[in-house]
Structure 1
C-alpha cells in the first residue's frame, strides 16, 4: 500500500435504512512481508477520517449527510498481535470522536500465510 494507494477508499456503502455510511478499506498484505504495513494501515484510516471530517464525502455522496460513519477494514490475512493492539486503540480513539471502526476478514475467513 504505497503512495496514491494510501489515499484511496476501496468502497463506500450507504445504507439509508440503518443510517450508516461505511467506508471500506481492503488490506491485501501479509503481516510478514512489509515492515511499513501498520503505518500504511494507519495512513489509510487517517485519510478516510479526513475525507469525512473535511466534508468532502458530503460533496461526493450528498445522501451520506447525517448518517453514522463507519470505517471498516477487510483483511485478507489475520492481523497479528501488534496490529490487534493498534486496532483496539484506534477503535477507542475513533469511538471517542463519534465514529466507528470495525474490521474482519475479506470473505468468510482469513487466508493462510502458507497460501502465498
Structure 2
C-alpha cells in the first residue's frame, strides 16, 4: 500500500499502552513544486478521516472501540517548506476539529532519504 492508493488505508495498528488506534500513511513520493504530492496526501488524509467518521474503522478493527484515533504519515523524503506548513496545519486542524492526533516523520528504520540520491 502507499499514499498513491487513495481509497485504501495503508496500515492499521494498535498502541495498547496509549489505547490508541493508529492509521499509518506510507508515503514514498518526492516533494514537487507543483504540489501534486500535497494534493495526493490531502486526499489520502480525507480517506482516513472518512474511514473513521463512517465507523468502518471498527469493522476493520473491532478492538478499537473506545480507543483514541491517530493518523501518522511516514515519509521517505523530507517535506519541503510548503509540505511542513501543510502538515503543521493538518496536525492542528485534526485535533481541534475531530480529536484525531496527527503526526509525521521518516520511517524510523531508515530515516529520510535525500531527494538527490
- TM-score by length of structure 2 reads 0.89
Which 5+ residue runs of structure 1 have no aligned equivalent? none
Question: Once the two structures are superposed, what CA deviation does each residue of 1:49-80 show, in whole Å capped at 9, x if it has no partner?
Answer: 11001001111211011111000000000011
Distance 1:86 1:35, change over 3 A: closer
Q: In structure 2, what is the Cα distance between the partners aligned to 1:103 and 1:90?
A: 10
Residues 89, 73 of structure 1: alpha-carbon distance in 2 compared, 3 angstrom cutoff: same
Cross-structure match for 2:37: 37
Task: Give the length in aligned residue pairs.
Answer: 113
TM-score norm. by structure 1 comes to 0.90
Closer/same/farther in 2, CA of residues 33 and 83 from structure 1, 3 Å limit: closer
Q: Offset at 1:35?
A: 4.0
RMSD (CA atoms): 1.5
Deviation at 1:10, TM superposition (A): 1.1
C-alpha displacement at 1:8, in angstroms? 1.5
Residue ranges of structure 2 left out of the alignment (5+ in a row)? none
Contact 1:58 1:65 (8 Å CA) reproduced: yes
- Given the superposition, is the C-alpha separation of residues 14 and 7 from structure 1 closer, same or farther in structure 2, using an over 3 Å criterion? same
Moved more, 29-38 or 44-53: 29-38
Give the ranges of 4+ consecutive aligned residues of structure 1 lying more than 3 Å apart after TM superposition.
32-35
